[in-house]
Amino acid sequence: MRIEVNLLPGAESLLRAHQAELPQKDDLCGAFWGLLALSQPGIASHAAVLDQDTVAATSGTAVSPRSDDQSRPRGEGHRRDYRLDHPTLEHTDQVGTSVVGLARAISQLSDDCLQAVPVAGAWTSDSVGALLDQAQQQAEGVTLIANLATRHLWGSRPDLATVLAYLDSGADRGPEPDWDVGHFVAIVGQVQGARGRGVVVADTYRTLGHQGMHFQPLPRIAAALTRDGTRAGGILAVVRSQAAEALEANLKTRGFRLAPWDNGSIDLGDRLGSSG
């Protein structure tokens, strides 16, 4: 069996920043990935301090008032060392970062050098693969920030035999998922086998996979983005602003719906100036 692995353009520098930044702060998975998109080479920001807190504040992110073990993978400690005073919400399904807010923060904090194109599906293995193929053509780099439901994913530590069996035959016999939350991750590459195709996921905790990196079959990613209709999911394709129009046109011709989705998190607006 021949196995082909392709990292997306810009993935090497993104992964260096990823390893240095791990783990996310509590409830800031969206801000974590916004920060890493902004950390790509050639992107300057006017922000005096550019960190997860800055992105969260600009995104209108709210956090839970106290640590919640259910919101993190098993064995992962809490991290509430916030530099800024973020607003809190008692309803845990409303905390975190909205898609609209995250896209706004990426644009504002990059001084409009970056644009986050919201891709809302519909999601199938074929459509995820088509988006990956388009991302592979972004010569100046792309960050694919996927907003999904983790309950549809493989557990992050499948043995090698399971991964090879999937790539060879398409047999989906992976481990049970590690946890059950709505979550932001990044897709940084794709893996093609004889009959199975998958992606390389960069996550926000070192306890997931190998130092925050794990393999997922394409059908599992499609299901995780669809979320069984309980909450919308999708992918923010972050590219240089001059490349956004062409990417949008190509995606529209392939039937994608380009619009923000409601992941349940409330957008409390741009509070950076009042937060300090």
Domain boundaries, the chain: 4-275
Q: Read off the pLDDT of residues 243-271 as tens digits, 9 standing for 90 and up.
A: 999 999 999 999 999 999 999 999 998 54
Q: Is the pLDDT of residue 86 over 80?
A: yes
> What is the pLDDT, as a whole number, of residue 75?
85
Q: Read off the pLDDT of residues 88-120 as tens digits, 9 standing for 90 and up.
A: 998 878 999 999 999 999 999 999 999 999 999
DSSP symbols for the chain: ---EEEEPTTHHHHHHHHHHHPSPPTT-HHHHHHHHHHTSTT-----SS-SHHHHHHHHT-BB-SS--GGGS-TTPPP----SS---B-S-GGG-B--HHHHHHHHHHHTTTSEEEEEE-----HHHHHHHHHHHHT-TT--EEEEEEEGGGSPPS---HHHHHHHHHH----PPPPS---EEEEEEEEEEE-SS-EEEEEE-S-TTTTBTTEEEEEHHHHHHHHHGGGSS--EEEEEEEHHHHHHHHHHHHHTT---S----S-------HHHH-
Identify the band that residue 274 occupies on the pLDDT scale cut at 50, 70 and 90.
very low
Token pair 């992941």: residue: 263
* Length in residues, the chain: 276
Higher pLDDT, 127 or 121: 127
Identify the band that residue 77 occupies on the pLDDT scale cut at 50, 70 and 90.
confident
> What is the pLDDT, as a whole number, of residue 37?
98
Contacts of 224 (CB under 8 A, 6+ apart): 146, 148, 149, 150, 151, 152, 153, 216, 233
Q: Please state which CATH number belongs to domain 4-275.
A: 3.90.70.30
> What is the pLDDT, as a whole number, of residue 250?
96
Q: Read off the pLDDT of residues 162-181 as tens digits, 9 standing for 90 and up.
A: 999 999 999 999 999 999 99
Q: What is the mean pLDDT of the chain?
A: 94
Amino acid at the residue 129: G
Identify the band that residue 215 occupies on the pLDDT scale cut at 50, 70 and 90.
very high
Least confident span in 12-26, 123-137, 216-230 = 216-230
CB atoms within 10 A of CB 76: 18
Q: What is the rounded distance in angstroms from the CA atom of residue 93 to the CA atom of residue 66?
A: 14
Q: Read off the pLDDT of residues 42-76 as tens digits, 9 standing for 90 and up.
A: 999 999 999 999 999 999 999 999 988 778 998 88
Token pair 């509430």: residue: 80
> What is the pLDDT, as a whole number, of residue 276?
32
> What is the pLDDT, as a whole number, of residue 273?
42
Mean pLDDT, range 189-218, rounded to an integer: 98
Identify the band that residue 275 occupies on the pLDDT scale cut at 50, 70 and 90.
very low
Percent of the chain with pLDDT over 70: 97
